[in-house]
Amino acid sequence: MRRQGKSGQENATKVTLADLDSLARDELVELWRRLYRAAPPPRVRRPLLELACAWAIQARDQGGLSPATERQLKGGGDGRTRRRIKPGTRLVREWHGTVHVVEVTTQGFLWQGRTHASLSAIARAITGANWSGPRFFGLKGG
């Protein structure tokens, strides 16, 4: 990391992936601080320092993560990443001794002879409580 900028100080923005192998451990720690604007975890090993710095350098050089990916990683997600259930799929759930079967159609979800717009509406009708429909029918972990 012995790159000299106009100010004479080391500059993390000039370090490339090819430079990482030649850096001393203390230089990698300093690079981490500059790239992430925080100290690395205590006693972190060199391979992780190199990988994390390599990722940050690539993200910097290639524009980083898309806003949708950042939201998804932070737990927000976006509607486009939701898993689609194909029409014709049958979802089965037992609730208090009664088996409930929902068929996925192109118009929505068919349950007890009625088409519903969402699985959550069906889960609410079955349980009497606000449930996530995909979670109730086992399509999401939880």
| One domain, residues 28 and 66 | yes
Statement: the pTM of the whole predicted model exceeds 0.75 = no
Contacts of 63 (CB under 8 A, 6+ apart): none
**Is position 82 within any domain?**
no
Residue 95 lies in a domain: yes
Q: Are residue 16 and residue 60 in the same domain, yes or no?
A: yes
Distance, in Å, from the CA atom of 103 to the CA atom of 118, rounded to the nearest integer, reads: 12
Q: Within 10 A of 99 (CB to CB), how many other CB atoms are there?
A: 8
107 lies in which domain range?
90-136
Q: Quick: pLDDT tens for 68-125.
A: 888 777 765 544 435 678 999 999 999 999 999 999 999 999 999 999 999 999 999 9
Q: How many domains is the chain built from?
A: 2
- Quote the pLDDT of residue 142: 58
Q: Are residues 63 and 113 in the same domain?
A: no
Q: Is residue 78 part of a domain?
A: no
Q: Which residues of 68-89 are buried (b: 16+ CB within 10 A; e: fewer)?
A: eeeeeeeeeeeeeeeeeeeeee
Which one-letter amino acid corresponds to residue 20?
Answer: L
